[in-house]
Structure 1
Amino acid sequence: MIELIHISKSFGQHQVLQEVTFTFEDGKVYGIVGENGAGKTTLFRCIAGLETASGQINANLEPLKNHLGYLTSDPYFLSKLTGEEYIYLLTDARGKSIKNLDERNIFELPLKEYASSYSTGMKKKLALTATLLQDNSFYILDEPFNGIDLQSSIILTEIILRLKSMNKTILISSHIFSTLKDTCDEILVLEEGRISKSVKKEQFGDFEEEMKEKILKKDIDKLWL
């Protein structure tokens, strides 16, 4: 469980998060959607302890950052670190001893090569593999499906569902609505730093149509098509 109470965050005069209050329950997957600049990544960074914010963040495991796996939208890798070394670095930080790493390399990554030389999709899969092998209780996945191939997307969807079955708490942001429909129990809409709407699974179909109508009316009509 992760409980957010009146979380607010500003950068100078610009307020990014405004009084965000919500409880993420164990064993559930939550989608966080919103336009660029709505505050999704800032919210994730606050939960992960990478940004300070006013308000309170509580969890049933403390400190939260020691039980949280955070996959950023654009993972960074040191230039002289191999994929294998990167995984060992992250798992060692959690006190995990990884054996038979080659057998657990489900994305078939070239682990002996420098991670900085990987493609965008390979970097995403390497960071995800290391985060999963940490065996965290909470996961934040910021645009995890961006840049990965169809086969990896299918694997990732199954991974998320298995984490849910293991009573993990998962937060996902994605611009690919089908991935949210396949994995999430609830979708939260973030607008101007606030949670403007909560959508339950049985409402996903109506919500998708509502989103399509809103987006097409706003953007496509401008092209006079």
Structure 2
Amino acid sequence: MITVTNLSKSYGKKEVLKDVSFILEPSKVYGIVGSNGAGKTTLFRCIAGLESYNGHIHADRTPLKNYLGLLPADPYFPSKLTGEEYIYLLADARGIQVTDLEERNIFQLPLREYASEYSTGMKKKLALTAILLQRNRYFILDEPYNGIDFESALILTSIISKLRSLGKTVLISSHIFSTLKECCDQILVLENGQTGKMIAQDAFDELEDKMKKSAIGKDIDKLIEG
């Protein structure tokens, strides 16, 4: 379980997160939605221990960062490091020895090529493979479906379901609402750096309709002329 209480984060005078509070339980998949700039990625970085913040984050495994796998929206890889070396590096950081890597390469990545030269989708799949092989307890996936092919998206959905069945805690952001509807048990709404309600599955359609009305309500005639 991860408990976030009154978490706030500012960059200078700009307040990105304000008194954010929620609880993430084991064996559940949580989605998070919000417009660009709402603070989703900053929130993820705070939970992962990559940013300082005000407030409290508690977990039943400590230190939390040693049990958490973070998939960034745009994974970074050092030059001259192969995919295979990257996986071994992250596994070694957890004291884990990875064997039979070729059999575990379900995304069929060219592991002996430099990771920095991978396509966007391949980078995302490599980073995901690495944090899965770390045997983490918690997972934060920032826009995991962006840039990957249809077959890989199906595999990813199955992976998320498997993590839930293994008692893991998963937090996902996605601009593709249908993926959240399919994967998540609850969805957290983040607006202007503040948390709204935690939405249960039976209210997903209502949330989607609300988001559509908000988007369609924009005056697109001001942008597109006849």
Q: Structure 1 residues 219 and 197 mapped into 2: Cα distance closer, same or farther (>3 Å)?
A: farther
How many residue pairs get aligned? The number is 225
Alignment of 1:192-203 (within 5 A): 192-203=192-203
Structure 1 SS opposite 2:151: helix
Distance 1:221 1:202, change over 3 A: farther
Q: State the Cα distance separating 1:26 from its structure 2 match.
A: 0.7
Deviation at 1:41, TM superposition (A): 0.4
Query: In 2, Cα distance between the equivalents of 1:86 and 1:3?
Result: 31
Map residues 111-190 of structure 1 onto 2, 5 A cutoff. 111-190=111-190
Residue 197 of structure 1 and its aligned partner are, at CA, apart by 2.8
* Distance apart, 1:198 and its partner CA: 2.1
Instruction: Report the counterpart of residue 4 of structure 2 in structure 1.
Output: 4
Distance 1:172 1:120 in 2: 19
**Offset at residue 206 of structure 1 (A):** 1.6
Matches within 5 A, 1:41-60: 41-60=41-60
Q: Give CA deviations for 1:48-95 in whole Å, capped at 9, x if unaligned.
A: 000010111100000000000000000000110000000000011011
Instruction: Read off the aligned partner of 1:192 and give its amino acid letter.
Output: N
Alignment root-mean-square deviation, CA: 1.1
Letter in 2 for 1:187: I
5 Å-filtered alignment, 1:196-211, equals 196-211=196-211
How much has 1:224 moved relative to structure 2?
6.5
Could you tell me how far apart the structure 1 residues matched to 2:211 and 2:17 are? 22
Partner residue in 1 for 2:62: 62
- SS of 2:85's equivalent in the other structure is helix
What's the offset of the Cα at 1:219? 4.8
How far apart, in 2, do the equivalents of 1:137 and 1:15 lie? 30
CA shift, 1:114, in A, is 0.4
> Could you say what secondary structure the match of 1:189 adopts?
strand
The CA distance in 1 between the partners of 2:166 and 2:40, in whole Å, is: 25
> What are the superposed Cα offsets for residues 16-68 of structure 1, whole Å, 9 maximum, x if unpaired?
00001111111111111101110000000000000010111100000000000
In structure 2, distance between residues paired with 1:191 and 1:207: 13
| Shift in Å, 1:126 | 0.3
Q: Which amino acid aligns with 1:99?
A: T
How many angstroms apart in 2 are the aligned matches of 1:57 and 1:197?
19
What is the rounded CA distance, in whole Å, between the counterparts of 1:108 and 1:32 in structure 2?
A: 29
Structure 1: distance between partners of 2:124 and 2:151: 14
TM-score between the two structures when normalised by the length of structure 1: 0.98
Structure 2: segments with no counterpart, 5+ residues: none
Structure 1: distance between partners of 2:46 and 2:219 = 32
* Whole-angstrom CA distance in 2 between matches of 1:109 and 1:219: 44
User: Is 2:91 the partner of 1:91?
Assistant: yes
Shift of 1:221: 5.0
> Gaps spanning 5+ residues in structure 1: where?
none
Distance in 1 between the 2:219 and 2:98 partners?
Answer: 49
SS in structure 2 at match of 1:81: coil
Counterpart CA distance in 1 for 2:77 and 2:21 is: 33
Structure 1 residue 205, shift from structure 2 partner: 1.2
Cα deviation, residue 116, structure 1: 0.6
CA offsets per residue over residues 164-200 of structure 1, 9 Å max, x none?
A: 0111000000001111011001111111110123211
Q: Percent sequence identity over matched residues? A: 63
Letter in 1 for 2:175: H
